[in-house]
Amino acid sequence: MNIFVDFYQNLGLALTILVIATFAIAGTVKGVIGLGLPTVAMGLLGLAMAPAQAAALLIIPATLTNLWQLAFGGHLRALVKRLWPMLLAIFLGSGIGTSWIGMAGGHWVVRGLGAALLLYALSGLWLPPLRVSHRHEAWLGPLCGAITGIITAATGVFVIPAVPYLQALGLRRDELVQALGLAFTVSTLALAAGLLWRGALGGGELSASLLALIPALLGMWLGQWLRLRISAVLFKRVFFIGLGALGAHLLISG
């Protein structure tokens, strides 16, 4: 409990409020469209703290919400059988990225985070629906997984290119939601392992991350309520525009 209190005392009141508000917003986004919690959290927290510190805060909220997402759907065994080369490549790519690049801070890491957010936003806004032939999955899946892992290790964002790739597989909606949860869970665990190896994930960070779970879950509940009352297409477009603006700001300002 003491390390939990000490962590937020060290952050200060303003940053503590930012953490709570960020995870509430990120949880709301995930509740509406089924993804975006780590992406939004890294983007907003990256405005005020080092990427490694921001990534440590999202470990527990991201892990538990992703486990909840992959637990429902009834396709877990089939998806693991189909996607395991990609999932293994995410873990290996994250390990390579952690030892080679890492998330040690500095302007270039913040700019890398901004570039990843901007690229994801542009792909969501302008990229036409893609389709991946089954015969290409054997090599394209591991390639996308390895690139995703390296980007995860460097920026804490694990949506590029994993999300566009999974969307291009032609999965049914419930399969896609569960596949995203599976990929995000592996990416989060790989990120946690990298942070732990670099000494950026200790008891204080995990305790602080546990608090962030509360606004994240409340946000998810609000997002699921909103999903029944607003256009998901409109919300997704606004989300990508806002995310692109945030990414451009981080990319320019560093």
- Show me where the domains of the chain are located: 2-253
Angle between helices 51-71 and 13-33 (to 10 degrees): 30
Between residues 155 and 91, which one has the greater pLDDT? 91
| Residue 2 scores a pLDDT above 60 | no
**What pLDDT does residue 7 have?**
60
**What pLDDT does residue 24 have?**
94
Average pLDDT on 7-31 reads 82
Between residues 227 and 66, which one has the greater pLDDT? 66
Between residues 76 and 205, which one has the greater pLDDT? 76
Average pLDDT, rounded, for the chain: 84
Between residues 235 and 81, which one has the greater pLDDT? 81
| Residue 57 scores a pLDDT above 80 | yes
- Confidence category of residue 3, pLDDT binned at 50, 70, 90: low
The closest alpha carbon to 234, from 26, 22, 32, belongs to 32
